[in-house]
Structure 1
Amino acid sequence: MTARVLIVDDIPTNVRLLEARLTAEYYDVVTATNGPQALEICNTSDVDIVLLDVMMPDMDGFEVCKRLKANPKTHHLPVLMVTALDQPSDRVRGLEVGADDFLTKPVDDMQLMARVKSLVRLKSLTDELRDRALTGQQIAIEDALRAMDQITTEGGSILIVDTDQRHAERIKGYLTPAHKVDILIQPADAVFQVTGSHYELALVSMALDDFDPLRVCSQIRTLEHTRTLPIILVADEADKPRVVRALDLGVNDFISRPVERNELAARVRTQIRRHRYGLELRQSVNNTMALAVTDDMTGLYNRRYFDRHLGVMLSKAQAQDRDMAVMLLDIDHFKAVNDGHGHDIGDAVLKEFSLRLKRNIRGVDLACRFGGEEFVVLMPDTDFRQAEAVAERVREAVAERGFEVGASRPLTVTVSVGVTLQESVDDTAETLIKRADVALYRAKREGRNRVVFDAA
C-alpha cells in the first residue's frame, strides 16, 4: 500500500536516514524541519502519516501533535512520535496530546516499517469511512460522521494468549481497568475461546510452550467473525525473523519485551480504534437511510451509489497519484439458470454469489450490483498484483463449491472477471468501466471462469 509520509525533524541527517528507508519501500516522503512548517503541510496537502521528532526548537513535537489533533481537518491523521526520550513520563505526555504510536532512537528498521504500515492501514480505513459518508451526503453523512467521531478506544475486549501465567497477569494489570481482559494459557484452545466471543484484540506471546504462536494467529484468522481481529505479538529480540514472517501473514503489530506499559497502551489503542472503524464501515450499510443506495436483493450498493462514488475516488486517486482498480464480474450462463430452474433459484444464486463476493474482497473494497447478473468492485490503493490476487480469490471462491440454492442438486456456478487499472489523469469513470467491460468480454470469449486484465 502506498502512502505519503511527512517526516518532521530539525536535524537533516535524521531526515535523510528516515527518508531513505521509507523511499526504499516505495513510500512518498515529504519533509519539514520545524513545527509550523509541518502544520502548514498537513493543513494544505494530503498526508497519510506524520513521523514527528519530539525535541525541536521553538515548537516541540508534543505541541505539534496537540495542534494536529485539535484541528478537525487533521484530527484523524496518525502521528508516530520518534524520540530519544525513553522515560515513561514522556510517553504519557505523548498519549495525552494524542500520539498514536512511538519509536525510540536509534530507529530499528523492522519496527519502523511495522509501525508505519499499521498506522497507514488505520488511515486508509478512516479515509474510506469519511469518503463513503461524503458520497452519501444526502443520505447518511451526519450520522456517519457523528458515529465516527464518537468511536473511542476505551472498554476494549482483549484476549491474552500466553503459557506463562505470571507474565500474562502482568500484561493484564497494565490494561485494566481501561479494558476487559481474558487470559488463555492453553494455546490449543484459542479457536474455542474466540468462538462466540466478541474480542476486539488478541495479544499473543511468541514464547508459547510447545506451541507455534503463528499457528495460533492463523487459526484465529480462519474463523469468519475473527478474520479481521487485530493481533499483536509479544516478542523477544531473538524472535525478529518470525515476527517479520508474522507481519507478512497479516499480524497487525508487535511489541518487544520487556513490555513498557505506555507503549502497550498506545499500540492497543491504535488497533482497537482501527477495529472499531472497520466495524463501523461494515455496519454502515445497515443504516436505514442507506437503503436508498443499496440493492434490495443482494444488500450490495446499487448502480446509483457506485457511479457517484467512482467519480469521487477516481478524482482523489488522480490528485494524489494513487493506484486504483475496477473489477467487473458477470455470472457465466446465468440465463440458463433462470430458464432451467426458474427465477426464484436465479435470485438465490445472485444472493449466494453476493455473499461469496463480500467474503473474498478486502475491507476497503466497495462491491456493487451493476445490473442483472453483473457486479462491480472498486478497489482503492490497489496495483496490478493486489488486484489480480483479489480477483482470483473471488473467482475461486465462486467455482470451488456448488451453490446449494434449493435446486435438486447443487448448481455449478462460475464467474468471468474483467479488471482495469487507473493509469493516467486522462482516465474518466466512463473509460474505466469501458476498459473493464472490454476485459470482461475477452474473459467470456476465451472460455469463461477466468480473470482478464485490460490496459489503457
Structure 2
Amino acid sequence: MSGKILIVDAVATNRIVLKVKLAAAYYEVAEATSGAEARALAAQTRPDLVLAGADLPDAQGADLVHALRADPALAATPLVLMQAHADRPSRRAALRAGADDVLEKPFEEQLLLARLRCLLRRHHGDDDLHLHAGTVQPHGFAEAPPPFAAPGRVAVVAPDARAARGLRAQLAETGRNHFDALGAGEMIRAVSGGAAPDLFILAVPPADSESALRMLAELRARPQTRRRPVVAVLDEPDQALAARLLDMGADDAALGPTDPEELAVRLDAQLRQKQRNDRLRDRIQDRLRAAMTDPLTGLYNRRHALPFLDRLATTSAQEGRPFAVMVADLDHFKQVNDTHGHAAGDAVLCRVAQLLQANLRGDDLLARIGGEEFLIALPDTPRQRARQTAARLCRIVRQAPIEVAGARIPVTISIGVALDAGRAGNGASPDVHGLLNRADRALYGAKAGGRNTVTFATRSAA
C-alpha cells in the first residue's frame, strides 16, 4: 500500500467514489461520516492523510480543521478539504486554520492524486527527519508546525521577469516577507552566486508553461535550492498542469485567478514547514557532531578517527604518499588526579589538547581515543618530518606548565610513532589496525625509556 488515507464525508456516494479511486491507486482507505468519528477512527488507524468534506453534520470548513488539529493524532497529519462550491473566504479560513489544501468540486482525479502524492511525500520525509533528529514520536503524533513563521526571503520567479515583478507587486502588500522578482536567467545567477532565498514562487504563464517547468526542474536539481519550498502559481485553473507541477517537485500549487491573500497564507505555511525542518536538520548535525566528538576536549573521538585513518591509508596507497600515525599519552597522569583532583585532571587534558591542536597542520588529525591518550595522524609525512613534529609536540607540552586553581602542574607526554610508506600499486590493502598496534608498542617503548620522549616503531615500511 502507498499509505493510509482517512476519508471523512457525510454522503455515502462521495465516500464510495473516493474509495474506489484511492484503492485503484493502492492506498489503504478508512471511512468516517463526521468530525467526531474521524477523531476516534484516527486514534485507531493512525492515517497518513485525511481527506474530508468541508460540510459535515458536526463541523464545517475551518471549524472542522480546528477540531481535527486539536487531536494529537492529527496535529501534523496532512489534511485536505473538499468544497462543494467556490468560496474564497472559506478557503482562506480553512488554510489559516491549518488545512494543507482546499480542493473545489469538481476536481480532476489527476490533480487529487498528485496533491496526495505531494503531501504524503512531505509527510514521510518529516517522519524521517524526526527519526534521525531523535524527536520521533509514535506515528500520527508528530510535532505540529509552529503557529507563526518568521519573515523570509521569497523569490518570485517566472520565465518573463515582467510577470515576476507584477506578481511581486501584488504580494508585497500582503505579508511580512521580503520579495525579489527574477527572470529565468536572473534566477540561475542568483542561486549560483550566493545564499538561496527561503522560498520560491514560480509564476506559470499559460503561454510558456514549458519554460516554467524547466525552471522548476532546475530548482530541484541544484544543491542550493533542492530543499527550498516552491509554490507554483498558475494564471488559470489548469488542473492538469498543476498536477504535473506537483509531481515534478512543487510543494504547493495555487490555481488561478491569483488571490494574493490566499497565496500569502500558503507562503506562511510553507515557511513554517521549512523553518521547522531546518531546526530538525540542525539537530541532526548536532547529534552527528556529538557522536564524533569527545565532549571534554572538543577533539574528535575514536569513532571518527578510525574511519579517517582508513581513508587516509587508502588515499596514500593510491597516490604513493607516506603518512605517520602517532599515539601520545600524558605521563604520570594518575598522579595529577590523585594530587590535584579530577577537575584539575580534566583541565590538564583540555589544555594539552589545545597545545597539540595549535601545533598541527590543518590537514592533520588529532583525536582523544582514551582517558589520557591521543591519536595523531599526519598525511603526506615522511620519517624526518614525523620525527621533527613529534619532538616539537613533546617540547611544547613540557615547556608549558598548566595552572589550575593557583597550582602550576608540570606535564609531559610520551609519543609512539609508526610510519606507512604509502607505496602505490603494490596491491596490498592498508593495515590500519596493524599500524595503530605498532604505534602503541612504540609508545610503550617511550614509557619504558623514561617518558617525555619519542619512540619509532621498529618495523616500518618507511
* Alignment TM class, shorter chain as reference: 0.5 to 0.7
Counterpart for residue 192 of structure 1: 189
Alpha carbons 2:234, 2:253 under 8 Å: kept: yes
SS for the counterpart of 1:17 is helix
Counterpart for residue 90 of structure 2: 90
Equivalence map 1:30-429=2 (5 Å)? 30-134=30-134, 150=146, 152-162=148-158, 163=160, 165=162, 168-170=165-167, 172-174=169-171, 176-194=173-191, 195-207=193-205, 212-236=211-235, 243-287=242-286, 291-294=289-292, 336-337=314-315, 339=317, 341=321
Tell me: CA distance 1:196–1:29, structure 2 relative to 1, closer, same or farther (3 Å): same
Any idea what the Cα deviations from partners look like across 1:393-427, whole Å, max 9, x if unmatched?
A: xxxxxxxxxxxxxx999xxxxxxxxxxxxxxxxxx
| Deviation of 1:344 (Å) | 7.7
| Deviation of 1:95 (Å) | 3.0
| Deviation of 1:171 (Å) | 5.3
Tell me: CA distance 1:48–1:40, structure 2 relative to 1, closer, same or farther (3 Å): same
**TM-score, structure 2 length as denominator?**
0.57
CA distance in 2, matches of 1:244, 1:273: 23
Tell me: CA distance 1:112–1:273, structure 2 relative to 1, closer, same or farther (3 Å): farther
Gaps of 5+ in 1: 138-144, 304-331, 352-406, 410-456
Cα root mean square deviation, aligned: 4.3
Any idea what the Cα deviations from partners look like across 1:46-77, whole Å, max 9, x if unmatched?
A: 11111111111133353332122223443112
Counterpart for residue 21 of structure 2: 21
CA distance in 1, matches of 2:225, 2:324: 33
Alpha carbons 1:233, 1:253 under 8 Å: kept: yes
Gaps of 5+ in 2: 305-309, 326-361, 366-421, 425-462
Alpha carbons 2:111, 2:239 under 8 Å: kept: no
Identical counterparts, % of pairs: 26
SS for the counterpart of 1:225 is coil
Any idea what the Cα deviations from partners look like across 1:10-50, whole Å, max 9, x if unmatched?
A: 11111122222222222222111111110111223311111
CA distance in 1, matches of 2:278, 2:311: 35
AA of the residue aligned to 1:160: V
| Deviation of 1:212 (Å) | 1.4
CA distance in 1, matches of 2:229, 2:66: 27
Alpha carbons 1:156, 1:178 under 8 Å: kept: no
Count, aligned residues: 317
SS for the counterpart of 1:199 is coil
The farther-off stretch of 166-175 and 95-104 is 166-175
Alpha carbons 2:129, 2:281 under 8 Å: kept: no
Tell me: CA distance 1:175–1:117, structure 2 relative to 1, closer, same or farther (3 Å): farther
Alpha carbons 1:125, 1:277 under 8 Å: kept: no
CA distance in 1, matches of 2:163, 2:202: 14
Q: Bigger radius of gyration, 1 or 2? A: 2
CA distance in 2, matches of 1:79, 1:277: 18
Tell me: CA distance 1:246–1:253, structure 2 relative to 1, closer, same or farther (3 Å): same
CA distance in 1, matches of 2:69, 2:313: 55
CA distance in 2, matches of 1:208, 1:189: 21
SS for the counterpart of 1:26 is coil
SS for the counterpart of 1:103 is strand
AA of the residue aligned to 1:216: M
CA distance in 2, matches of 1:250, 1:166: 22
AA of the residue aligned to 1:281: L
